[in-house]
Structures are given as structure tokens and as C-alpha cells.
Amino acid sequence: DSGVTQTPKHLITATGQRVTLRCSPRSGDLSVYWYQQSLDQGLQFLIQYYNGEERAKGNILERFSAQQFPDLHSELNLSSLELGDSALYFCASSDVAGHTEAFFGQGTRLTVV
């Protein structure tokens, strides 16, 4: 158990809908990361927050947004969902902003039908 908690574990939704994925980092970790894992793209970095502020951004679609709250948990919002958004979404956390291992949660499997 990495200490990173993600909910829900599975999510099935229709195209055009909006969903919110939730992540609780390890106790004491200030950095939260979101990654997307699909069969054809592998693990892709989406976004990083550090202590409530956006720290780094990857190729995150404009339909996707994230935030980190004062209690350090994070949410990833996916809107206007398309079939191609079906993937595993992982949250990871680390104690500092960079150059350190990140601990991953078990992921949320999103299926868009």
C-alpha cells in the first residue's frame, strides 16, 4: 500500500458527460501528480500541484482540469468526455516538488461508452 488513495476505483460514463476523480496523497506529501495510462500512449504526465499551486503541466486537454485543496487532496475533472478518454488515471504524491520518487495510487479506471 503506497498510502495514496484514489476514488472511485472504476467509473463508467457516457460520452459528453463530466466526471471527477479524487486523490488523497500520502500523509505529509505536498506534491500531487496526475497521470493518464492508455494502451497506445503509455503513462502520460498530465499535471502537478505543489502545496495548492500548479507546478507543472503536461499535455493535458483543455477539457480536463485539476486542483489541489488546502487539505492537500486533489481532484481531476474531466468534461465533455470522449471514447478516447477511456484510460487508467493515476494520482501520485511526493514530499517535495521534484527529483524524488513519487508514490502512486491504485488508479481509477474510466470507461466512456
Partner 1 sequence: GESVGLHLPTLSVQEGDNSIINCAYSNSASDYFIWYKQESGKGPQFIIDIRSNMDKRQGQRVTVLLNKTVKHLSLQIAATQPGDSAVYFCAENSGNTGKLIFGQGTTLQVKP
Instruction: Mark the segment that binds partner 1 (CB under 8 A) among 17-25, 51-59, 60-68, 69-77.
Output: 51-59
Among 3, 43, 84, 113, binds partner 1 (CB under 8 A): 43
Find the binding residues for partner 1 in span 1-20 (CB under 8 A). 2, 4
Among 15, 77, 80, 100, binds partner 1 (CB under 8 A): 100
CA distances in angstroms from 33 to 66, 78, 89, 103, 106, listed in the order given: 10, 15, 10, 10, 13
* Number of residues lying near partner 1 (CB under 8 A): 29
Quote the cell numbers at residue 77.
475533472
Distance between CA atoms of residues 89 and 16, nearest Å: 18
Instruction: Mark the segment that binds partner 1 (CB under 8 A) among 17-25, 45-53, 62-70, 71-79.
Output: 45-53
**What is the CB-side half-sphere exposure of residue 47 using CA atoms within 13 A?**
17
